Chain A
Amino acid sequence: MEEMITVKNVSKNFINRGSADTLAVKDISFTLERGETLGIVGESGSGKSTVARLITGLISPTSGEIRICDNDIQKQRCEDPLGLYSNIQMVFQNPVESFNPRKTLGYGIDESLRNRGISPSAAATIVAQLLEKVGLTPDFATKYPHQVSGGQCQRAAIARALAVEPKILICDEATSALDVTVQKQIIELLDELRRKRDLSIIFICHNLALVQSFCDRVIVLYDGEIVEQGKPDDIINNPQAEYTKLLVDSIL
């Protein structure tokens, strides 16, 4: 199997002025295989979002190594950021906040295309196609984030992430801010996209039931450490770690 993401002994220490440092992620290692959907679950503050920001290069690890499509992320982020972000893209938790309030959705979606030297007219065509793929109409390109619903905005955010045809998609609590019916539509959209596009997905979530139905493999994070990993059914039916038992109890 081809490894899309390799995380090896990664720790992240946030230095706080005047108080003790926060060790948000402690020596974690995992991989994401091609075509796989990996779920990361854990409570708030367990380091889920830190992991998302580490593997997208938004923050640097204190120690350890992260490779994206066999390139060292620290090196590639400085030397060839466009190359790195052609491989990996992210969908954020709060869809409305993930778009510039002063710019249209279309501006946000085609930004990565413009940065790659694609002409405005060609980019506009691609944006229209992307919007249709995620179940919106092309006229959404001219709307502002506050003019559309959360679900529509998240669809636009998925369109933005897919604009450069990435191999890996990180969904950082991408459905948490949406209501249940919209949540289901977004999951169905992601499911359709991963089948059609050979996408490898990291799905970060605190809802174990959702992870069970959507992911091939699950990592349970607790206090910055991986306490358990395996197939979702195994984890739910036979949890080993104390925290996983608590988590499973709380959903059943």
Chain B
Amino acid sequence: MIKKPSKKLIVFTIMAAALILVSIFADRLCPYDPYAQDLSLSYNAPSAEHLMGTDTYGRDMFSRVIIGARASILSTLALVAIITIFGTAVGVICGYCGGKIDSVVMRISDFFLAFPGLVFALAVAALLGGGIVNAVIALAVISWPKYSRVARSQTLSVKALSFIQAARLAGDSPIQIITRHILPNIMGPILVTSMLDIGTMMMELAGLSFLGLGAQPPVAEWGSMMSNGRSMLQTYPWVVLSPGFAIFVSVVIFNLLGDTVRDYFDPK
């Protein structure tokens, strides 16, 4: 069942891995201290010395974009991992058990799906207070139902196949049936959903931060950096454009990776 990965898949995987490595080793890659203020340097235009210029407080934008990758990329990945695991677990249990549990939990997930996601996340984030962890919690609360839907429908179709009955006749317990037989057969579509979701989640997390409900100053995060600089867009555009560019590049890379992963799992 192992297919040869396409060139595109290899390229995008390397690019995504590079982004993740940058965010892990961000503090060693910064040419300047991203938090060191020097008002004499404020609003310097991009130059050889400061590749992306400096902001209001004279902080090096390039260093701040690199250190911001940590908050943006790592928390996005953590968020996607949380909702994938939680949503899949809920979906598989509902699909496998059926009955009342299924009806009740699926109505709850309908409730979350019927609500405009970001509005609900805003409410949750406002309730919990600002902060990157709270923003992740807020987005996790509204995003898991998508995964439980996918996992549930996949579980229902796999459950109907006779190898599940054969496993019961072999004496497998329900947990063994789920881990040995159902999960390996439904991981493909779930993995594809989560890969495609990385870009979206990164945008939503940046969106919450932009609105002031995510990362709090002075923590460097791309969304809040854009928000801080937005009044300077016409005068000192690099303050807004550098984090914007970073968001753009990462979202594009993760979306293209998601697309190629989907193609990889597609049997056609």
Contacts and interface: CB of A to CB of B under 8 A. Distances in A.
Interface of A: 53, 56, 58, 81-82, 85, 89-90, 92-94, 97-103, 108, 111-112, 115-116, 144, 157, 160-161
Interface of B: 1, 161-163, 165-172, 176, 180-181, 184-185
18 contacts: A58-B169, A85-B169, A85-B171, A90-B165, A92-B166, A94-B162, A97-B162, A98-B162, A98-B165, A98-B166, A100-B163, A100-B180, A101-B185, A102-B1, A102-B184, A103-B181, A115-B170, A161-B169
B171 A92 contact: no
The 6 lowest CB-CB distance pairs between A and B, nearest first, are A112-B170, A111-B170, A115-B171, A92-B162, A98-B162, A102-B184
Contacts of B163: 97-101, 108
Given A98-B162, A100-B185, A144-B1, A56 B169 contact: yes
Residue among B168, B170, B176 with the most chain A CB within 10 A?
Answer: B170
Contacts of B172: 111, 115
A143 to B, nearest CB: 12
Contact of A58 (B168, B170, B181, B185): B168
Contact of B170 (A53, A85, A101): A85
A112 B180 CA distance: 13
Contacts of A112: 169-171
A108 B171 CA distance: 12
Given A102-B1, A102-B184, A81 B171 contact: yes
B93 to A, nearest CB: 20
Nearest to A84: B171
Contacts of A103: 180-181, 184
A16 to B, nearest CB: 14
Nearest to A114: B170
B161 A97 contact: yes
Residue among B163, B169, B185 with the most chain A CB within 10 A?
Answer: B169
A17 to B, nearest CB: 10
B167 to A, nearest CB: 7
Nearest to B161: A97
Contacts of A144: 1
